[in-house]
Each structure stands twice: as structure tokens, then as C-alpha cells.
Amino acid sequence: MRYNRSESFRFVFSDPIDASFSIAERGGKSVSTKQGKAVIADISPSGLKLMTHLELPMEEPLILSIFFKIRNEELEIKGVPMWKKRVNSGFQYGIRSTEEDEILRDRIVKELKDYAQHNPKM
């Protein structure tokens, strides 16, 4: 599967933002896992690129709960890892959001606009 890059925009952070995540579902069953540390390299209304030192099992469908703060507001997105790439410091994952919530998408766009205004080095 390929990551969909046809969305309206993709915001690339000059310095990746901190995030944490846990596995919410594995193979269609709810699970409870410890939170792992990660950073978000880029984000769009339909997904994000997550980087972590943890290797996730890709053999069966996963849904992750990803927690992060772009500027002021704590956000949570549920998403499906679509691809995995090994990098020097760990792994990159392309995450497709499973959220259909327009309000959440609007909050993300608002936070990104605020972030861009206050981070002119971008």
C-alpha cells in the first residue's frame, strides 16, 4: 500500500514535534498498551509521518492512538500505519487518519496556522 499524498496540503515541521502513541486495536480487537515516545515530522488533515525507535508489527491491522500538541491544544488522532521505513534512529511510519471528525480536522488546521505564525524560521 502507498501513502496517499493527494491531500490538500502537508505541513512539514522544521523541528519535529513531540508525540506519544499506543496501540488501540490489533487485528480488529481492542488492546491496551503502554505509550511509546515519538515525534511527528509532517502532518496533513488526513494523516501524518510518525518517527519512533519502536518497531511496530505490520503483519496484522493496527489502529494507533497518537497524542500530541502542535501549539496550544492537546490533540489525539486515531490512525492506521500504512507503511514503515527503517531509518538510522529507528522507524518512520506513514499514518492514515481514521478520524471522520471535521471539527478535529479544523482544530488541526487552526493549530498549524497558529504554529506557522509563531515559528517564522520555517
Cβ neighbours of residue 60 closer than 8 Å, sequence gap 6 or more: 26, 27
CA atoms within 13 A on the CB side of 47: 19
Cβ 51 vs Cβ 18: under 8 Å: no
C-alpha span between 42 and 51 (Å, rounded)? 10
Report d(CA 85, CA 96) in Å as an integer.
15
Q: Are 27 and 35 in contact (CB under 8 A)?
A: no
The pTM of this model reads 0.86
What's the CA gap between 14 and 121, in Å, rounded?
Answer: 8
Q: Which residues contact 11 (CB under 8 A, 6 or more apart)?
A: 42, 43, 44, 112, 116
Q: What is the pLDDT of residue 4?
A: 46
* pLDDT tens-digit profile, the chain (122 residues): 334 445 567 899 989 999 999 999 999 999 999 999 999 999 988 899 999 999 999 999 999 999 999 988 899 999 999 999 999 989 999 999 997 878 888 888 889 988 888 886 65
Listed by start position, the domains of the chain span 22-99
